[in-house]
Structure 1
Amino acid sequence: MSFINLFRSISNFQFPYTIEDKPIQENPLWQVFYGSRKSDSLPVTVFKANRSEKTEPLITNAVHKAKILRIPGLCRVLETFESDPQSTFIVTERATPFPWDQLNHYLRNKEALEVGILEILNTLSHLSNFVLGTLSEQSIFIDSKGQWILFGFELCVDRKQLDPGLFGSHMRLYNSLNEKPVLSDDPARVDAIQLGKLISKLLGGGAGIPKDWSAALQSLSQGRTSIQHFNKKLQSTSTWINNPLISLHQQLEEIHIKDSQGKFIVMSNLQIAYFENRALFHYLVPQFVKGMLIPELTEVINWLISTQSGNPSVLPKIIPLLAIFLDLTIEQEYFPEASKQLLYSIFALKDRQVRFLLLIYLPKIITHLEKREISDKIYPRFSMGLADTDSTLRLQTLKSIPVIVSYISERQLNNELLRYLAKTQVDVDVDIRAWTIIVITKISTMLSSSSGNRANILATAFTKSLKDPDVKARLASLYGLNKTIDLFDVRTIANKILTVIAPGLLDKDPLVRSKAKALFQKYLNKLEDEAKLLQDSISEESQTEDINFDSYCDMDSSNVDELAKQFLASILITTGPGFSDTNTATHGVMDDDVWANFGEKNSSTVSDDFGSFPAKVSQAQDSFHDDDVEADFNDSSWGDFSFDEPQEIKSPKPMSGKPVKVQRSWNSNLNDDEPASSRSLTQSQNKKASILNRPRVSSSILTPRSSNSNSRSNTPSSTSRTVKPAARSSKLQNKPVDDDFDDDAWDSAW
């Protein structure tokens, strides 16, 4: 039913409350709805009357009594609306019908039910001058602070104004509408009888009733005892006296008029009762915990922090109250804003016991807090525990990292937190070292994977732990490698991870060796699977043929004799003195730079007064008999097969010709820092080059020489064709290659 449309139909009427569409309770006389006041969002309960000609006298009496009765223990009425017969409302403070469907749940804590019975008895004591006549299951409600209250004034009448005949008529009408039997129409006995039946049902009847209550309750149910007399009998029983919740309830009823010091005394009594029997505070009605205990605990703890924080003796008082606060809030899953602010303030305390208590409850409370608040207000204080001097606090903080890691920022995770973990991995406590690896394993999927950072961190951390002197840390490292196998690509596995696991194969502990062997095989299988995929993707035509390298060192090969014959044939002198005058020097004059042409690849012959001889023979002989060749072979640069570079000799004639563009070599810039004056044509022609990389070899040493190949005309035309060589290159320096990561500083990349 839409009440908004109903109220709009009433001229100039604005209903000041918002009402939910679905009723929480319904009977022939009333529909009960939750609602809120529009002005301040105050939660309320709205009773809408089902008015009819038959129910009119009962509804009229209920509305009238709601206006005039202001007795503790009744639903506190805020407003009544009865301007229209179809829109009669009684608005009260938020009240919830007793959850009879959960009675078995609350029967687990009968002490709490006894407190509820006490509250009903106190209310009826205030109504001793009235006959209620409507006590039943539908009469009991619970307010926002967990107090049991009553509603239902359809038959309520002052004893001084009682008309027995009219009361009996209305009683029969009420029971008829609610389909209930008439227990009694005697105004003097009806409330006692109804209360006895109600208490028996609340306690589960029969065996659930305390033995020292049984006789008094039976007398009450039969109407032989008044409610006041029954109340006095209960207060003298051991069940009543030994119930700590009853005495605590009496203190809580007056806590709203106490100052901070008085409230602290009440909470101290609560603390004593709580730690003596924690079961007393479970299976309570939610409103009592949410509306009474948690707010009062929050207020007292805040008072202790704000006014007594400078006093060291106050902290031991905060810890037990904080434990009760955390226990109750987690059980009810109730975290109002005031409770959240209290938690942020508590995390700022430097007391180790307080911080340790918060770490214990952190997994259960963190889901109820905002991510930004955790990152800004909790994590900076949380991380301090990783550097605390107390090993127990360090370990508990370490164990709590997987709980908080999803709530912190990326910078806090990949920078600050990893730096702390790098320190805890070398902690003196072996449990902390082992737990560090376990934590890194659990948060590994959240680490940044950009630029291979995650793989480097994991590989380095696991490597360091595999070198740990304690077997527990080494086993933790193998556990981490096993769990994170999917985070490594095959190249990382081949280049780093296998070398991380390999030392474990030689571990002194047999369990470590066994696990390392199985793990090594697991990673190797992953590589082999990738190799199979790679093999399938490559065509057979591009496969490389195998090379028999053993034959390279076989000196008995028949090819050696043939090779010697070819070499001897190549060094035979094919031209005598005076064979050619084309390239001879002036008779009787020895050119100072005659050696400048030695070393030129495939050079022409040089003549002097002693005749003409092949330059290549002299070059080969000089090269292979030069003592300085030995100096170029050393252990540190076994791949540098270069000859010594000759001293610079100036050319006797300037070289001229058309410039030719020369392609720069890949290593031509290795010696660019050499002064330009030292880069002469002769030096570049006589530069030292590696045998394996010597460019433009036009003929083999075994190629026979002829006079045509050993002579070249030094005519201007031949000179003009000379090409200026590229810049001189220097020897390659063999530099050590840095490893990708350093076992002793694995956090440097963070």
Structure 2
Amino acid sequence: MDFLKSAVASAMAAKGPPFPYNFGDKVDLDPSIWTLYNGTRREDGSDCSIFSFEIAANRSALLLARNALKKLRTLRHPGVIKVLDTVESETYIYIATERLVPLRWHVKRKSLSPETAKWGLYSIARTVKFINDEASSVHGNLKVASVYTTESGEWKLGGFEVLSNVKDDEAVIYTYGSLVPDSGRYTPPELAKSGWDAIKRSPHSAVDAYDFGALIFEIFNGSFSSDQAGQTKNIPPSLHPSYKRLANPNPKARLTVAHFLEQGRRNGSFFDTPLIKLTEGVENLGVKTEEEREAFLDDLDQLTDDFPEDFFKMKVLPELLKSVEFGGGGPKAFGLVMKIATKLSNEDFDAKVLPVLLRLFGNPDRAIRVCLLDNLPLMIDRLSQKTVNDKIFPQIVTGFTDVAPVVREQTLKSVLTIITKLSDRTINGELLKYLAKTANDEQPGIRTNTTICLGKIAKYLGTSSRSKVLIAAFSRSLRDPFIHARNAALMALSVTSEHFSDEDCATRVLPAICPSLIDKEKLIRDQAVKTLDVYVQRIKKAVESMPETALPPESAISGNPRMGTPQAEAAAGWAGWAISSFTNKLSAAAGDITSSNGASSVPASSSAPPSRPSTAAPITSNSSASPLYRQAVKSPPPSAPLTRNPSTTGELFFPEDGNNDDGADFDAWGDMGDMDDDDPSTSNKMTASISSNQSNDNPFAEPSSSKKKSAVTTTASSKPFDDGSEPDFAGWLAQQAEKKKGGVLGGSKALPKGLGKTTTVTTAKKTTVPVKSKPVVVKKKIDTKPKDDDGDDGWGGW
């Protein structure tokens, strides 16, 4: 084959005029005077077919070849093979045409559906009618071998070797008709008896009418012989009456092809099919009236999948695209475009459909935009990520702010389709901004769909902001007055639980769900129970892996180290002083306490009750609280949550900048309300207490004032603990006990005020216990309620 190609090319270059086409593979044909090759045009590489006739190898048929060349050049009809170029020399004849495939291939493979066969026969009948009537000619070689299909699937007529005008007495058909290869099988009975001159004595269309009947039988059965003329095997019943008249032995009684075509086009007849109507109307789609266009598109939409795909791709699709973009075809035409586009290869889609799609997304017509978004799932797999992210998405987002709710809603739904084609930066940046707007949309359906959308795209969100965005959005939806919006939020929380940390589940999600348990709608209450159960099970599973306690082992606490000494701090941290100094809750106390050097560390005015800020929430008072405690219970600014300093054991501080890392500012999603842990309106009031089981944390109260205050920081120090007001009475008592043992008790130093010989301590049971110089620890519940009387009870008053 390569040798033949090179030989042909050498012959062209050496002996003939230039031929701007390259020869490709040889195509198998029925017996013919021509050799058919696939070819390409050198200028643009487009496909073509080349009919080659070598004069030296088949000189006896040279007249037939030249007749075919002449007729193809001069005969112009949509049903005739389209000629691109021809060349004739002393050694060869080349005819370049549109790319063709022999109809014989489809007949052998039986790949023609009945509707496609009818459509093809209709096209050939129109062409034969034109040859017989308008051209006053006889084809004389009508058979399957003379018919070809184009890239669009259309049937084209060739085989013009003996095509002759009946007005020409010296026409080729009279003399050389019998030289056509395999002509004996298709010769009409009158010509078989009397020769080809009999054409002059009968209607000139009779020969082509008989051959057309043979063509019908051959298409539906695969082959034809003269004794099968008129048989109806495998031929559709609707064709039987007219087909039999085509095969009539009497040429004068024979039905002409023109009459056959007319009968077939009658209403309800065999040529009255949607596919045939389509072929007649598609080329004039742009000039049809609106009513005609609507009727045409309705017929086109009813077509089934057994119609020729190539025709839709090459002929119908371009016309529909023109109609959508320029001719007013509208959404219906575009729906048909996408129906056809699903059968295109990726290369054809990129070449024929994609450029128009990109232009249509920029079209301001809302009907076109909605139609594009509706059909986006059909095309998304054909679109590259770069195309969607850089060219289509910037056009789509304009729909989020459109004044028409239907456009906003369809734009929102399209997010689920294109999310896999968007970059992380686009998703977590621009897309979330638009979703935040639709979450506040005036249409409840759009708000609901936004919640559903966020639940479905949760896995595509960035891990750094995903939980914050979802909790903020779903918490807002849980308070939505629209019942389906609340239900969607609960369902979304159920399916996105894996994206939240255990702490978020317990402190942020569950408190947000709980109000829904008593929702006025049963649908919400039932769904809230299901969602709550998901998170409760999640927390239970997380708790199973947690240790029983975070306290240090008891063995780590040795003895009762003196409060505030560096040795105690090194041995047991901040826990030692609490355990050694207070075995029960702090009892009510009053009065001044003298330090070891005899100077009072409590200001003279400390006995007066301090004034409370009018804006502060009430807190539980304790008459024995130290200034350190009073400092700790001061309300920190609401925006500064209590935080542990990891570098110092037991250190608590309020960040001065007021930032809350766990509640980043998502203003677009709205105020999360009671979801914020540091919201003073929803926080639980906490009462500071100190017990023997207390760990190393300083007591603190929940913020009770909304006014911003300066940061309060208590920091561990290597110096002994001294709050600057109350004495180290536990250490002092221990020292006095040692002196008593050594006989030194009672010296010149006076006891601190309130540690006299006898002090009364009121217990919960109103019992009076005499207290000597050695303190007595009563292991009963201490009544910390301040006394009503204003008298001095020996401890002084705060």
TM-score, scaled relative to structure 2 = 0.59
Pairing partner for 1:35 from 15, 35, 39 = 39
Aligned residue-pair number: 591
> Per-residue displacement from partner, 1:687-738 (whole Å, max 9, x unpaired)?
74698xx9x99935333264799999xxxxxxxxxxxxxxxxxxxxxxxxxx
Deviation at 1:161, TM superposition (A): 4.0
Label 1:382 to 1:7 Cα distance change in 2 as closer, same or farther (>3 A): same
Match of 1:288 in 2: 311
Match of 1:401 in 2: 415
Cα separation, 2, equivalents of 1:143 and 1:685:
101
Cα separation, 2, equivalents of 1:74 and 1:89:
17
> In the alignment, does 2:428 pair up with 1:414?
yes
Match of 2:688 in 1: none
Pairing partner for 2:534 from 522, 526, 535 = 522
Label 1:478 to 1:668 Cα distance change in 2 as closer, same or farther (>3 A): closer
Deviation at 1:424, TM superposition (A): 2.5
Pairing partner for 1:107 from 108, 114, 120 = 114
Match of 2:627 in 1: 643
Cα separation, 2, equivalents of 1:664 and 1:320:
72
Decide whether the 8 Å contact of 1:629 with 1:643 is kept in 2.
Answer: no
Label 1:544 to 1:492 Cα distance change in 2 as closer, same or farther (>3 A): farther
Decide whether the 8 Å contact of 2:140 with 2:173 is kept in 1.
Answer: no
Label 1:391 to 1:94 Cα distance change in 2 as closer, same or farther (>3 A): same
Pairing partner for 1:365 from 379, 391, 399 = 379
Cα separation, 2, equivalents of 1:690 and 1:15:
113
Match of 2:155 in 1: 148
Label 1:532 to 1:228 Cα distance change in 2 as closer, same or farther (>3 A): same
Pairing partner for 2:493 from 481, 484, 487 = 481
Decide whether the 8 Å contact of 2:67 with 2:161 is kept in 1.
Answer: no
> In the alignment, does 2:244 pair up with 1:218?
yes
Match of 2:455 in 1: 441
Decide whether the 8 Å contact of 2:152 with 2:314 is kept in 1.
Answer: yes
SS at match of 1:702: helix
Deviation at 1:628, TM superposition (A): 4.6
Most deviating of 43-52 and 496-505: 43-52
SS at match of 1:699: helix
Cα separation, 2, equivalents of 1:470 and 1:424:
15
AA in 1 matched with 2:731:
S
Match of 1:702 in 2: 734
Cα separation, 2, equivalents of 1:330 and 1:358:
14
Match of 1:499 in 2: 511
Judging by fraction of residues, say which structure has more helix: 1
Deviation at 1:84, TM superposition (A): 11
Label 1:74 to 1:230 Cα distance change in 2 as closer, same or farther (>3 A): closer
Cα separation, 1, equivalents of 2:472 and 2:113:
56
Decide whether the 8 Å contact of 1:267 with 1:297 is kept in 2.
Answer: no
Deviation at 1:104, TM superposition (A): 6.5
Cα separation, 1, equivalents of 2:354 and 2:439:
33
Cα separation, 1, equivalents of 2:148 and 2:385:
38
> In the alignment, does 2:367 pair up with 1:353?
yes
> Per-residue displacement from partner, 1:126-147 (whole Å, max 9, x unpaired)?
67534442511x4322335554
Match of 1:675 in 2: none
SS at match of 1:296: helix
Decide whether the 8 Å contact of 1:97 with 1:142 is kept in 2.
Answer: yes
AA in 1 matched with 2:213:
G
Cα separation, 2, equivalents of 1:341 and 1:427:
34
Label 1:336 to 1:115 Cα distance change in 2 as closer, same or farther (>3 A): farther
Cα separation, 1, equivalents of 2:502 and 2:29:
69
Pairing partner for 2:404 from 381, 390, 407 = 390
Structure 2 runs not aligned, ≥5 long? 200-205, 222-231, 558-578, 630-646, 657-718, 750-798
Could you say what the CA RMSD is over the residues aligned between the two structures, in angstroms? 5.4
AA in 2 matched with 1:448:
G
Cα separation, 2, equivalents of 1:33 and 1:353:
48
> Per-residue displacement from partner, 1:650-700 (whole Å, max 9, x unpaired)?
xxxxxxxxxxxxx9999899999xxxxxxxxxxx99974698xx9x99935
Pairing partner for 2:100 from 84, 95, 103 = 95
SS at match of 2:80: coil
SS at match of 1:400: helix
1:556-595 alignment, distance < 5 Å: none
AA in 1 matched with 2:128:
L
Deviation at 1:442, TM superposition (A): 1.9
Cα separation, 2, equivalents of 1:513 and 1:364:
39
Pairing partner for 1:75 from 81, 92, 95 = 81
Cα separation, 1, equivalents of 2:509 and 2:583:
49
Cα separation, 2, equivalents of 1:544 and 1:486:
38
SS at match of 2:288: helix
Cα separation, 2, equivalents of 1:263 and 1:26:
39
Match of 2:478 in 1: 466
Decide whether the 8 Å contact of 2:41 with 2:47 is kept in 1.
Answer: yes
Label 1:399 to 1:293 Cα distance change in 2 as closer, same or farther (>3 A): same
Match of 1:65 in 2: 68
Label 1:494 to 1:89 Cα distance change in 2 as closer, same or farther (>3 A): farther
Match of 1:195 in 2: 212
Decide whether the 8 Å contact of 1:135 with 1:191 is kept in 2.
Answer: no
Decide whether the 8 Å contact of 1:264 with 1:300 is kept in 2.
Answer: no
1:536-685 alignment, distance < 5 Å: 603-604=596-597, 615=598, 619=600, 627-628=607-608, 641-643=625-627
Label 1:249 to 1:386 Cα distance change in 2 as closer, same or farther (>3 A): same
Label 1:241 to 1:78 Cα distance change in 2 as closer, same or farther (>3 A): closer
Deviation at 1:534, TM superposition (A): 5.7
Label 1:627 to 1:78 Cα distance change in 2 as closer, same or farther (>3 A): same
AA in 2 matched with 1:273:
F
Cα separation, 2, equivalents of 1:671 and 1:74:
88
> Per-residue displacement from partner, 1:598-640 (whole Å, max 9, x unpaired)?
976xx44xxxxxxxxxx3xx759x7999525877999559899
Deviation at 1:60, TM superposition (A): 7.9
Cα separation, 2, equivalents of 1:131 and 1:664:
106
Deviation at 1:401, TM superposition (A): 1.9
Match of 1:655 in 2: none
Decide whether the 8 Å contact of 1:234 with 1:240 is kept in 2.
Answer: no
Structure 1 runs not aligned, ≥5 long? 256-261, 305-314, 548-558, 568-594, 605-614, 646-662, 673-683, 713-750
Decide whether the 8 Å contact of 1:145 with 1:291 is kept in 2.
Answer: yes
Label 1:377 to 1:690 Cα distance change in 2 as closer, same or farther (>3 A): farther
AA in 1 matched with 2:141:
G
Label 1:563 to 1:387 Cα distance change in 2 as closer, same or farther (>3 A): closer
SS at match of 1:703: helix
Deviation at 1:435, TM superposition (A): 1.6
Cα separation, 2, equivalents of 1:201 and 1:483:
63
Deviation at 1:51, TM superposition (A): 10
AA in 2 matched with 1:133:
N
1:293-308 alignment, distance < 5 Å: 293-303=316-326
Cα separation, 1, equivalents of 2:163 and 2:449:
69
SS at match of 1:359: helix
SS at match of 1:701: helix
AA in 2 matched with 1:356:
V
